[in-house]
Structure 1
Amino acid sequence: MMKKGALFKTVRVLVVLLVSAAVAFLLVQLRPRAEKQERVSNGRLVETVTTRSQSLPMFVEAYGTVAPREALKLVARVRGEVVALHPNFIEGGFVRSGEVLVAIDPQDYELAVRRTKVGIRQAEADLDRLEQDVLNLDASLELARADMKLALAEVKRLKKLAGKDMTSQSVLDKADRQYLTSRERLQALENQMALIGPNRVRLQSQLEMARVAWEQAKLDLERCRIEAPYEAWVTQKTVEIGQHLSVGQPVGSIYRAGAFDIEVKIPVGDLAWFPDGAGSGEGLKAEVRFSETEPPRIWIGKVARIKAALDQTTRTLPVVVQVDEATGADPMANAAGRMKPGMFVTVRIQGRQVDHVHRLPRHLVRDDDTVYLAVDDRLEIRPVAVLRRFKTEVLINEGLADGDRVITTPISNAVSGMKIRIK
């Protein structure tokens, strides 16, 4: 009985296993078959920007430091004591043209003017006396010539009588002596007349010297007043009231208000962007920007000149830009906003205009001067001609046409003709 029960269990296990295997086989055979599909690529998704040609002015950008166009170091031209100072003659003060900045004691120089005027009158009186002497000599010469003629006629008459033994020799000798005396007197007067010319020159020279001394005295008197030659800002004052000045001693310094020069250095090649016929660059418009304030300050200037020699260190060409500001009725009202010497500024010089150029961000142009274009659904690698490169953009004048779509999406391992999709 035991053997029959064990055999039954074994058969039952075998049946269960066979049934399970059959069911599993049927499930495998009856499962749905997967259809094989080929992989299809629609292309890489990219973004593009459409190009449009423009006409753009070519700007040349450089940097420089503002300097006054005219700066003066004021010095004393006469010696003396300082008796007055202009109230605005202080560092940072503004003075108008013709205003007296420093006054030196004028008393000594006023006396010198009076003394030289007296010298002029004395010289004029000497000349007048000489002219009167000339008139007197002319009258004396007429009398002397008449007297000599009479004496000569008397000698001739007595000689005729002596030939007829009608007069004595002593009378004739006496007439000869009178004639010689008259002749000697005439000669003396003529000698005096001959000296009139040199005396006149001497006295005229004395008069001229007296006038020169008078002019010098007046000039020294004027130099007692040190005036501002133009509207100016005071940068330094080195004198005080009561101080005694010597000739040539500095008293301060000023610079012309509203007139500034900025020297910038540009590469020689950038001269090509100046208009044809403007090789000197004179008159080209320039924008001057001071960026250390908020908002930045901007002035409009012009190119004054291009220097003749290159900078030995940077091998660039110095260009001088002029800026002129109006001072106005109250220059102190805009003291904070005006241009000042020492400012470090950016200068943009407007050059000639270039037509039919395309402007692109610099990162879209590859190192080999090519750009990626979207043509239909394909990528095209197109070479271009770069006209100018800037920090953030590039100007292209050949290789692009209006309506071209430049790919802006970064693509690695790009190949011309690869399939793309435009976002």
Structure 2
Amino acid sequence: MDRKSVVNQILSLLVSAAILAAGTFVFLTLIRKPEQEASANPKPKPPVVRTVPVLEHDGRLDIVVDGIVTPYREIEVAAEVAGKVVYKNEACNGGRFVTKGTLLIRIDPRDYELQAKRLTSQLEQAGANLNELDVEVKNTEELIKLAKDQLDIERKEVNRLAGLIQERIVTDSAMDKAKQAELTSRNSLVRLQNELQLMKTRKTRLRSAKELVATDLELAELSVARTEITAAVDGVVVQDLAEQDSYVQKGSPLFTLEDTSAVEVKCRLRMEELHWLWRQAGSQRSAQAVAADYQIPQTPVTVTYELTGQDGVRYEWQGVLSRYDGLGLDEVTRTVPCRVVVPDPRAVNLVGADAIARPSGAPPALVRGMFVSIQLHIDQPDPLFLVPEPAVQPGKAVWVVRDGVLALVKPLTLIELIERQTEAGDLESHWLVESKTSALTPGDRVVVPPFGVLSAGMAVEEDGTP
């Protein structure tokens, strides 16, 4: 074996040993790498979510609906007597304000005054006739007394002659004359008694006639008074239909007067909103007093009106939800028509940053046709919760973090979306949630966006938002 072949064999062994060593190194490296990676990668942390606490609502439940102002009363005044309009006050024109008792229209009263004068004379004559009859009755009663005395005398005479005729002291003709005189006295007494009875009957007739004349006189005087038409209440003339010098018939419309002492606001409530009113009434009902089933619970309200161009300023009036406007639900809207009464439409309060004093453009009173917002203030027997609007998920559900674990609470009874001012002065939307029917408790923290895919039972970390 020469030197060259020995060198080749040595090189082959060295190459083989190098390949074997490289393979062993690669093998050992591949085995250790997963262990090193496993030890190098820490356990994944739970996702971080932003949470806010559930708060208790410390105020009343305020339900806001829209409404339109309508008159409290519209008085249609018509002529109660016929005649010519001889006077019309300038205040009796459409749009004018009048006070109670102001004379607005006078109808010619002369015909009715003459009739009243004639009936007054007839009444005096009827009284004189009754006085005359009283005198006649008194005289007749005196004549009856005399006739009775005369009859007694004649009877005594007949009795005396009856005793003498047996002794034949007097003749039969004298006895007959005495009896005839007694009969004449009796006839006179009966005639006077009949006359007295007729006088009493005539007195009743004359008294009835006098009362009839007195009634006619009262009617005539009432007609005279009805010729002057005055304002029955403080209000505004919204329609005038009669002009001066025109002739009006009895019952002809003259003008329409709107009572401004109060106004009403028409609104509509859903059955869900009435539910809270009925709950309030149920909590205040005692065992002895049962409210009428067809009466709406009397509830204080605030009526709000806003003018275009005056942002941040509101005009408010206080009123009360007083009654249903009819009975039952509207078949089209499925709502219940109701009426709100504002007892003082001129008592306006200004609310807002710029409402320091009444501006020149402020509405002086609440009048018909104004579109307003109505805020019903309802006292609730059970507390309510405030849940931020973004936290409420489809299906009326919220994610709640309890002991670092997510829980899905649903369904919530959402009452109303309200604006609530934060400590920074910003307005945030919150849902009012009924506490009695939800699984929420005060202090629960609900998850608000943004967040990824969540599932019940997932461990999470809170970002510490107060």
Q: Shorter-chain TM-score category?
A: 0.7 to 0.9
Note if contact 1:58-1:354 (Cα within 8 Å) is conserved in structure 2.
no
Task: Go from structure 1 to structure 2 and tell me whether the alpha carbon gap of 1:301 and 1:318 turns closer, same or farther (over 3 Å shift).
Answer: same
Partners of 1:179 and 1:316 lie apart in 2 by 98
Counterpart of 1:271 (choices 267, 277, 299) is 277
Look up the SS of the partner of 2:60 in the other structure. strand
Larger deviation: 109-118 or 275-284?
275-284
User: What is the Cα deviation at residue 73 of structure 1?
Assistant: 0.5
The match for 1:394 among 431, 434, 438 is 431
Q: How far 1:345 sits from its partner (Å)?
A: 2.5
Q: Look up the SS of the partner of 2:266 in the other structure.
A: strand
Aligned-pair CA distance for 1:200:
1.9
1:215 pairs with 2:218: yes
Question: Partner of 1:151 in structure 2?
Answer: 154
Aligned to 1:16: none
Moved more, 203-212 or 340-349: 340-349
Report the CA distance shift for 1:180/1:354 in structure 2 as closer, same or farther (over 3 A): closer
Q: For the Cα contact (< 8 Å) 1:72–1:253, is it kept in 2?
A: yes
Deviations 1:97-144 (A, max 9, x none): 111111111112222222121111111111111111111011111111
Q: Which residue number corresponds to residue 407 of structure 1?
A: 447
Q: CA deviation at 1:158?
A: 2.7
User: How many residue pairs end up in the alignment?
Assistant: 385
The residue correspondences of 1:116-195 to structure 2 (distance < 5 A) are 116-195=119-198
The answer for the alignment partner of 1:317 in structure 2 is 336
Q: How does 1:302-381 map to 2 (within 5 A)?
A: 302-306=320-324, 309-313=327-331, 314-325=333-344, 336-353=363-380, 356-373=383-400, 380-381=406-407
The Cα offsets for residues 304-335 of structure 1, whole Å up to 9 and x where unpaired, read as 2346731241443333221011669xxxx999
Paired residues of 1:257 and 1:327 also in contact (CA < 8 A):
no
2:415 aligned partner, one-letter code: R
CA shift digits 1:359-379 (9 cap, x unpaired): 123332112333234568x66
Partner of 1:288: 303
CA pair 259-83 structure 1, distance change in 2 beyond 3 A: same
Answer with 79-88 or 389-398: which moved more. Answer: 389-398
Aligned partners of 2:84 and 2:107 also within 8 Å: yes
Give the equivalent residue in structure 1 for 2:107: 104
How far off is 1:222 after superposition?
0.8
**Is the 8 Å Cα contact of residues 48 and 460 (structure 2) preserved in structure 1?**
no
Q: Structure 1 379/186 Cα, relative in aligned 2: closer, same or farther at 3 Å?
A: same
Q: Deviation at 1:418?
A: 5.3
SS of the counterpart of 1:179? helix
How far did 1:151 drift? Answer: 1.9
Q: Note the C-alpha offset of 1:177.
A: 1.9
* 1:312–1:284 distance in 2 versus 1, CA, 3 Å: closer
TM-score (ref. length: structure 2): 0.74
Q: Is the 2:317–2:345 Cα contact (8 Å) retained in structure 1?
A: no
Using a 3 Å threshold, how does the CA distance of structure 1 residues 326 and 394 change in structure 2: closer, same or farther? closer
69 and 335 in structure 1: CA distance in 2 versus 1, 3 angstrom threshold: farther
Structure 1's 55 and 304: CA in aligned 2 closer, same or farther, altered over 3 A?
A: same
Query: Hey, what's the Cα distance between the residues in 2 that align with 1:409 and 1:187?
Result: 118
Contact 1:274 1:281 in 2 (8 A): no
| Alpha-carbon spacing, 1:393–1:179, altered in 2? closer, same or farther (3 Å) | same
Q: Is the 8 A contact 1:42 1:421 kept in 2?
A: no
In the alignment, what sits opposite 2:13?
A: none
- The alignment partner of 1:411 has SS state of coil
Show CA shifts across 1:323-366 (max 9, x none): 011669xxxx9994311122232222211135543212333211
Match of 1:29 in 2: none
Q: Secondary structure at the match of 1:367?
A: coil
Comparing 80-89 with 367-376, greater Cα deviation is found at: 367-376
Deviation of 1:80 after TM superposition, in Å, equals 0.9
Within 1, Cα distance between the matches of 2:209 and 2:180? 43
The partner residue of 2:207 within 204, 207, 232 is: 204
Between stretches 407-416 and 69-78, larger displacement belongs to 407-416
Runs of 5+ consecutive residues of structure 1 not aligned to the other structure: 1-34
Go from structure 1 to structure 2 and tell me whether the alpha carbon gap of 1:337 and 1:112 turns closer, same or farther (over 3 Å shift).
same
**Equivalent pair of 1:67/1:261 in contact (CA under 8 Å):** yes
Distance in 1, matches of 2:413 and 2:135, equals 91
Q: How far is 1:47 from its partner?
A: 3.8
Give the partner amino acid of 1:247: K
Which residue pairs with 2:353 in the alignment? Answer: none
**1:290 alignment partner AA:** Y
| Rounded Cα–Cα distance in structure 2 between residues aligned with 1:327 and 1:292 | 17
Conserved 8 A contact 1:370-1:383: yes
Question: Once the two structures are aligned, what percentage of the paired residues are identical?
Answer: 25
Q: Paired residue for 1:68?
A: 71
- Structure 2 distance, partners of 1:85, 1:75, is 14
- Cα–Cα, structure 1 residues 404 and 155, in superposed 2: closer, same or farther, change >3 Å? closer
Separation in 2 of the partners of 1:58 and 1:365? 20
Unaligned runs of 5+ in 2: 1-35, 286-290, 348-359, 418-428
Aligned 8 A contact 1:66 1:342 in 2? yes
2:95 is paired with a residue of what secondary structure? coil
Secondary structure, aligned partner of 1:265: strand
